[in-house]
């Protein structure tokens, strides 16, 4: 019973436990289902919200992507449009080039035909000329070739002569007109002394008895005189004349005055000679200073170095070809100043250079070298400007003139030296100059005879008419003139006249 009761109790307890468990489980299940349903609903709501948000974002992203795609598409379309325009322009340019090439091709074809025709004509003409030369002159091909070259050379010579004639004529007309105006005006405005001076080299004595007194006992007086004065005294059989010889013009002048004073005084002995020499030296030095000062004053140049003024005054006793060098320097200064004024330049530097251009002649017997270089060195030493020094150095082409003032001094020097009566020339040098002119002209091919005329101012050249043609005569005159310029030094200009004369002579019988 107890076991039964226990079993029953166990069964009842198990049934109750099962029921209670079933009840509890059903209640929990319902709650879980309810919670699950609520969770599901919440999840569905969240999913719907997320879906809507994702859809909105997707729409926004799609809109942005579409906008960027449209923008990129537009840009691509623009690029394609530009490329299409470029292609169209290139196509048009290519079409134009093709048309131009077609036109040129036609032109080249036409010109090629013309060239070929002209070449055929030239070949035919050359063949005819060659055939005519060989047939008429019976020349070989080489000889005919040389003949043809001679003809071409003649044509070129003729053309060259024509060009030379036209160019020289035009340049000569313009240059001559202007230079003649300036030179004529300068010469007219310069009133210079035209008398040529000769070197004083002799002293006249009252009688030949004085010659013995001048010589002195055993030559004592003449030795003293020569030692003190530094000159040579020549006493010969020439009646009533004593000759003085010295390279230094100032010493020669001092000696001349000393001798004249001794003759006038009558007392000739060594002490008196020395006394008279000192007086004559003071007198000549005073004259030198006065001459330099007067020259500077006459030309309006007041800032010369004292040594330059003294050297300039020494030119008073210096002559060149019989022309007094100081007067020549003054004349050159005036001429250069006038020409500079006519050219619109400052006349003062031109006058200064003209006055000092022959400064070296005062000491050229003491220093080696040309007087132009000596004078330039002297002027440079005493502070003259490079422009003045260059004009002095270049006035005889020792250096090439590179300034207007140098050229003006050259021209003024030539005018002063070339005017009538300015200089005298020894017969020997005169004949040599004329012979030199004739020999230069005779050295050229085709010259038959040459005559130097008008004291060497003109050269007349007679040519062989069979050798020199009219065109060759123009070239020959130019070549001779250039040859004279290169070989000779002369003042002014020399006219070259080429004469070609052909004569045909026959006799009626």
DSSP characters over 279-303: HHHHHHHHHHHHHHHHHHHHHT---
Looking at residue 185, its pLDDT comes to 52
Instruction: Write down the residue that tokens 């070296």 correspond to.
Output: 360
How is domain 202-418 classified at the architecture level of CATH? Answer: Orthogonal Bundle (1.10)
pLDDT for 93 beyond 80 = yes
Looking at residue 244, its pLDDT comes to 84
Decide if 317 contacts 279 (C-beta within 8 A): no
User: Average pLDDT of 255-271?
Assistant: 84
pLDDT for 118 beyond 50 = yes
Q: List the one residue out of 197, 213, 255 whose CA is nearest residue 230.
A: 255
User: Among positive and negative, which fits the CA dihedral 79, 80, 82, 83?
Assistant: positive
pLDDT band at 198 (very low <50, low <70, confident <90, very high): very low
**Of 62-76, 153-167, 244-258, 491-505, minimum mean pLDDT range:** 153-167
φ, ψ (nearest 5 deg) of residue 460: -105, 125
Q: Which residue has the higher pLDDT, 206 or 174?
A: 206
Instruction: Write down the residue that tokens 């002559």 correspond to.
Output: 319
Pairing between strand 241-245 and 232-234?
A: antiparallel
User: Average pLDDT of 307-316?
Assistant: 87
Length of the chain: 509
The domain spans of the chain are 39-109, 143-182, 202-418, 427-500
Distance CA 85, CA 74 (A): 16
Q: List the one residue out of 132, 135, 149, 268 whose CA is nearest residue 210.
A: 268
What is each CA distance from 265 to 262, 273, 274, 318, in whole angstroms?
5, 11, 14, 28
Decide if 448 contacts 462 (C-beta within 8 A): yes
Helix, strand or coil for residue 447? Answer: strand
Decide if 92 contacts 84 (C-beta within 8 A): no
| H-helix or E-strand spanning residue 140 | none
**Of 19-33, 82-96, 492-506, minimum mean pLDDT range:** 19-33
Residues 6+ apart with CB under 8 A from 158: 469, 471
DSSP secondary structure letters along 269-282: SHHHHHHHHHHHHH
Decide if 375 contacts 390 (C-beta within 8 A): no
User: Average pLDDT of 277-298?
Assistant: 88
Distance CA 335, CA 191 (A): 10
Would you report the helix, strand and coil content of the chain in percent, each value rounded to 5?
70, 5, 20
- 34 half-sphere exposure, CB direction, 13 A CA radius: 6
The torsion defined by the Cα of 132, 133, 139 and 142, in degrees rounded to 10, comes to -120
pLDDT band at 461 (very low <50, low <70, confident <90, very high): very high
Distance CA 286, CA 294 (A): 12
Q: List the one residue out of 448, 120, 182 whose CA is nearest residue 337.
A: 182
Decide if 335 contacts 354 (C-beta within 8 A): yes
Decide if 357 contacts 409 (C-beta within 8 A): yes
Helix, strand or coil for residue 384? Answer: coil
Decide if 460 contacts 500 (C-beta within 8 A): no
User: Average pLDDT of 80-98?
Assistant: 88
Distance CA 455, CA 177 (A): 25
Q: Which two tokens stand for residue 504?
A: 């045909």
Looking at residue 304, its pLDDT comes to 87
Q: Phi-psi region for residue 241, left (φ > 0), alpha (ψ -120 to 50) or beta?
A: beta
Question: Mind listing the pLDDT tens digit for each residue in 371-407?
Answer: 888 888 988 998 889 999 999 988 887 788 888 888 8
- 27 half-sphere exposure, CB direction, 13 A CA radius: 5
Q: Catalogue the E-assigned strands of 424-473.
A: 447-453, 458-463
Distance CA 359, CA 393 (A): 10
DSSP secondary structure letters along 349-363: HHHHHHHHTTGGGGT
Which homologous superfamily is 427-500 in? K homology (KH) domain (3.30.300.20)
φ, ψ (nearest 5 deg) of residue 3: -65, -40
Cβ count within 10 A of residue 158: 16
Q: Which two tokens stand for residue 323?
A: 């022309």
pLDDT band at 193 (very low <50, low <70, confident <90, very high): very low
């Amino acid at each position: 019973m107890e076991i039964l009761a226990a079993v029953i109790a166990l069964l009842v307890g198990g049934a109750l436990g099962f029921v209670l468990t079933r009840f509890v489980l059903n209640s929990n299940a319902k709650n879980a289902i309810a919670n699950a349903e609520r969770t599901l609903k919440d999840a569905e709501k969240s999913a719907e919200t997320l879906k809507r948000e994702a859809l909105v974002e997707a729409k926004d992203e799609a809109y942005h992507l579409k906008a960027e795609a449209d923008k990129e598409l537009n840009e691509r379309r623009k690029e394609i449009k530009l490329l299409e325009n470029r292609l169209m322009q290139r196509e048009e340019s290519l079409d134009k080039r093709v048309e131009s090439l077609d036109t040129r091709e036609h032109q080249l074809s036409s010109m090629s035909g013309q060239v070929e025709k002209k070449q055929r004509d030239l070949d035919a003409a050359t063949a005819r000329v060659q055939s005519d030369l060989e047939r008429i002159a019976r020349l070989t091909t080489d000889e005919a070739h040389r003949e043809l070259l001679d003809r071409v050379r003649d044509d070129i010579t003729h053309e060259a002569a024509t060009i030379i004639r036209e160019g020289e004529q035009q340049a000569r007309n313009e240059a001559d007109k202007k230079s003649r105006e300036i030179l004529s005006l300068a010469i007219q405005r310069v009133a210079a002394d035209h008398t040529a001076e000769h070197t004083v080299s002799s002293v006249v004595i009252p009688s030949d008895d004085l010659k013995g007194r001048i010589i002195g006992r055993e030559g004592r007086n003449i030795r003293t005189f020569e030692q003190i004065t530094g000159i040579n005294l020549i006493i010969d059989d020439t009646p009533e004349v004593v000759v003085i010889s010295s390279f230094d013009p100032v010493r020669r002048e001092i000696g001349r005055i000393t001798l004249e004073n001794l003759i006038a005084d009558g007392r000739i002995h060594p002490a008196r000679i020395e006394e008279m020499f000192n007086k004559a030296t003071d007198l000549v030095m005073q004259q030198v200073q006065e001459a330099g000062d007067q020259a500077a004053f006459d030309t309006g140049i007041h800032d010369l170095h004292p040594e330059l003024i003294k050297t300039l005054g020494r030119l008073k006793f210096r002559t060149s070809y019989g022309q007094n060098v100081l007067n020549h320097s003054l004349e050159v200064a005036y001429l250069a100043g006038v020409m500079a004024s006519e050219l619109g330049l400052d006349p003062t530097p031109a006058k200064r250079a003209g006055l000092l251009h022959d400064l070296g002649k005062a000491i050229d017997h003491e220093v080696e070298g040309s007087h132009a270089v000596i004078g330039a060195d002297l002027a440079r030493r005493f502070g003259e400007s490079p422009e003045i020094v260059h004009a002095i150095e270049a006035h005889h082409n020792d250096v090439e003139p590179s300034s207007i003032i140098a050229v003006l001094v050259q021209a003024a020097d030539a005018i002063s030296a070339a005017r009538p009566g300015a200089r005298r020339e020894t017969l020997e040098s005169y004949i040599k100059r004329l012979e030199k002119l004739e020999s230069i002209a005779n050295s050229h091919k085709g010259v038959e005879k040459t005559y130097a005329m008008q004291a060497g101012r003109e050269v007349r050249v007679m040519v062989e008419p069979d050798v020199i043609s009219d065109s060759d005569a123009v070239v020959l005159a130019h070549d001779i003139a250039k040859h004279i310029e290169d070989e000779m030094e002369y003042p002014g200009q020399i006219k070259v006249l080429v004469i070609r004369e052909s004569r045909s002579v026959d006799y009626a019988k």
